[in-house]
Amino acid sequence: MMPFPVTTLGSQRTPPPPKLYGISSPISLAAPKETDCILTQKLIETLKPFGVLEEEEELQRRILILEKLNNLVKEWIREISESKSLPPAIIENVGGKIFTFGSYRLGVHTKGADIDALCVAPRHVDRSDFFTSFYAKLKLHEEVKDLRAVEEAFVPVIRLCFDGIEIDILFARLALQTIPEDLDLRDDSLLKNLDIRCIRSLNGCRVTDEILHLVPNIDNFRLTLRAIKLWAKCHNIYSNILGFLGGVSWAMLVARTCQLYPNAVASTLVRKFFLVFSEWEWPNPVLLKEPEEQNLNLPVWDPRVNPSDRYHLMPIITPAYPQQNSTYNVSVSTRMVMIEEFKQGLAITHEILLSKAEWSKLFEAPSFFQKYKHYIVLLASAPTEKQRLEWVGLVESKIRILVGSLEKNEFITLAHVNPQSFPAPKENPDKEEFCTMWVIGLVLKKPENSEVLSIDLTYDIQSFTDTVYRQAINSKMFEMDMKIDAMHLRRKELHQLLPNHVLQKNKTHSMEDVRLTALNDSSLDSSADSESSVSVPSPTSTVKTGPVTGASQGRHSPALAVMAASATSVQVTEVTLQQANPSESSGGVSESIPPTAPQVAISPPPKPTITRLVSSTLLVNHPPRPSGATATNIANPIVGV
């Protein structure tokens, strides 16, 4: 018997099949051509001025800071171990470690970006230790500034600035006696017997690590993701909180593209990204791997079991157990806007491939303020900068509720919120006040067999403001003079609130360039009307709201109206936010205070005063609108023009 088999030419084994990434076979295994490599180099050169590529010196500084932080964690855990009288042999090897996740761990962070970190500790270190003794240790460190603990958050966190770099540190205690240096957080067995807050804290690292293990080429993935994230930010569709996609969702879409084209370089992957997701049949989910059941009784995304999961419009499922949908905030309008942007991106990258355009065209922002004819402007104001930051955060987190409510109106085809907020002009120049505003573009549907369209948005606006005030009061955040205003403006009136450099940004895009193709039918889109056809004045006023309770307001409550009218033979749409006659309001201030927090005193608002003049639009301060039975006795202000 021969010691080794004899291999003849005909008996040579075929090479093993390529590794399969994802839940399906790749669409193409084609290797990059020379033109693809040239286009990729041009893409890199285009990205540089945007600051998305960090210098090596800055990267080394981050690494040094994380090393210092890691040493602090190890030192702190040894001190805790000694204070709890653990054996010296265990103390010597107790470990403890800082892990990173998010954009820094993915390798796509931008200049000056913060770092998401996770402190992993052994079982004898409690969460209370993290928020007391570790917090105190950080406070004594000379390089640590702006230290603050948010212990009651959904995912508790310590925030700080370490030598000029913003860092958010989460905490997770594992059921281990020591924390080894080579610990792999992707191990599902680590989740056994953990408290839910620790599982949530671990989730960011586990998802990020899984994504990196599920892409065929990490360098190509990173460059593609940098380009797509920049494109999404330029096109105002980067915001999880407002119903678009956040960083991890964009990363998963890019990772899926890489799985489908495993040998492609970044220039090809960017183009294929737009191809795949402009044609994706939502709500079919995007999955990077087959979901695995670990029998740990944790809630996972599964529309077969959870009825609420069946209503998710654009599911992108995290690859680590417990699997979750990272895009549950997406609404009908935000999905429509994103799909249209995917189609526009595909058209532009096709031009780039044919040498008819440069990469810079992909990162030109569409002119949001030229795109629609009607806008709702939301303003949040507070008396101090610190209160404004808290108030703005709360209001912004609830705007998607308003958008969802507007979408349900049969005469509103689209409600597109711009994720970018803007500083708003003061109502009273002599009064200290800090204001922020958001703008929502509206596409209205014309009624069939009618020249007049009347839409009452009272309930939608009031429900939104009630929700915000209720949460602010329940969380003891609410302070005097925290306000929300809402007003309607036409496109030509936006200059009264927004600076010219914002309105004229990329104004060269024509209406045809930016109009949603899904809404091109002019019979459904009142935004298609020409500006010159508007010849009727719009008596628009603000709705200034405060915390209210009492009987629920019906959808036909008269405080707010959107109206359309006929001028000669041309359709003209008017949107009016009206307040009921103050003189007809009954009931004292006490009726405006939610019963959940009777200790909060809210003074009556000042008498109506002129605050701004928008074209023919007079904006005034109004007292709170009546609620309950009082409101039903007021005549409906919806009138024809």
Which residues are identified as catalytic?
103, 114, 116, 168, 229, 238
Cβ contact 442:630 at 8 Å: no
Give binding residues for ATP as ranges.
101-103, 110, 114-116, 168, 229, 238, 247-248
What is the DSSP secondary structure assignment for residue 327, as one 8-state letter? T
Max distance between CA atoms of the chain, in angstroms, equals 109
CA distance 15 to 19: 12
Give binding residues as ranges.
101-103, 110, 114-116, 168, 229, 238, 247-248
Residues near 286 by beta carbon (within 8 Å), at least 6 away in sequence:
252, 253, 256, 280, 315, 316, 317
Q: How far is CA 523 from the centre of its chain?
A: 32
Which residue, among 76, 63, 94, 62, has the nearest Cα to 139 in the 3D structure?
A: 76
Beta strand spans in 138-296 (E): 144-150, 157-162, 165-173
Residues near 379 by beta carbon (within 8 Å), at least 6 away in sequence:
424, 435, 436, 437, 483, 484, 485, 486, 487
3-state secondary structure of 208: helix
CA distance 155 to 135: 16
Report which residue type is found at 451: E
Residues near 51 by beta carbon (within 8 Å), at least 6 away in sequence:
110, 111, 112
Give binding residues for Mg(2+) as ranges.
114, 116, 168
Task: Give the DSSP letter string of 500-554.
Answer: HHHHTTTTTS-HHHHS-GGG--TTT-GGGS-GGG--S------EEE----SSPPP
Sequence length of the chain is 641
Cβ contact 244:417 at 8 Å: no
3-state secondary structure of 41: helix
CA distance 490 to 499: 15
CA distance 232 to 249: 12
Cβ contact 240:249 at 8 Å: yes
301-304, Cβ contacts within 8 angstroms, sequence gap of 24 or more: 301/325
